[in-house]
Structure 1
Amino acid sequence: MTFLLHFSFSFFSSVAFGFIANIPRRALLASGFTGAVGWMIYFYLNQLFHNIAFPNFAAAFIIGCLSIFFSKKKKMPMIIFYIPGLIPLVPGGPSYEAVRAFALEDPNAGFQKLMVVTTTAISIAGGLMVTSLVEQIINKWLRFRRV
């Protein structure tokens, strides 16, 4: 039941963001699936490792791989699938809590939440960079094999 609940909420949040961001309608289901799979990877790795860096990195990497797959399959830019797919991973709650802690003059809690936000953002960016690097290596290898 937990799996179905998490999958459906992450799917609909990605689709809703894609709808709001006005991506093409034929990309909505693929971007929703990308976001749902990314969230499930994050959720289960977070349960397994009890930290935020590696699960966010792995989820961003998988989201990047799925975005590349769907971009080639549907002949659309990768970003159309990547950005809505990242929406479930965005640390909105910790960001709000950090700002709230600073506003309530509790800098220790604010910096703690700010570190969570920073770690998450760096992990997501690292996942995208590694995805792009792997794609370039595979493309060069495929071009080399054809020659």
Structure 2
Amino acid sequence: MDPEIQERIAARRAELDGLKEQLVKQLAEVRAERDELAVAERVWQRMSEQLADERAQAGSPVVQVAGRAVRVVPERGPGVLESALPAEYQRILAAVRAAGSPVATRQIGEALGVGTGVRGKLEPLRGKLADRGWLHKRPDGKFTVRP
């Protein structure tokens, strides 16, 4: 084989070996950073859940009624955010909002997975939020979310 060609091959091989080392180092750095991002994402998720729980608890105080802890549902008004409602009430609002049009109590119950065949299960839904101003009860008995 021609010595000049051998020299070029050896030079190219050395160049490629150097490039390979750089790429291996970059790949290790990329993997390390991706691992750090995954950890940061998990920490952020946990913190978000904790903050949401704290906000929900802080926004809706618990009082004792007949020896039982009961979460107070705030009246709708200026400065009172929906996040101040207990989770169950937020689900009711979300179900009414998702319907996109006025809904009957039965439809809300179905959306929430409440047994709609038992009248006693649906009755509490009727006044849960309408009495506190979060929902509007129309003359036809259907509900809409107040703007």
Higher strand share: 2
Same fold (TM over 0.5): no
Relative contact order (alpha carbons < 8 A, sep ≥ 6): 1 or 2 greater? 1
| TM-score after normalising by structure 1 | 0.29
TM-score (norm 2): 0.29
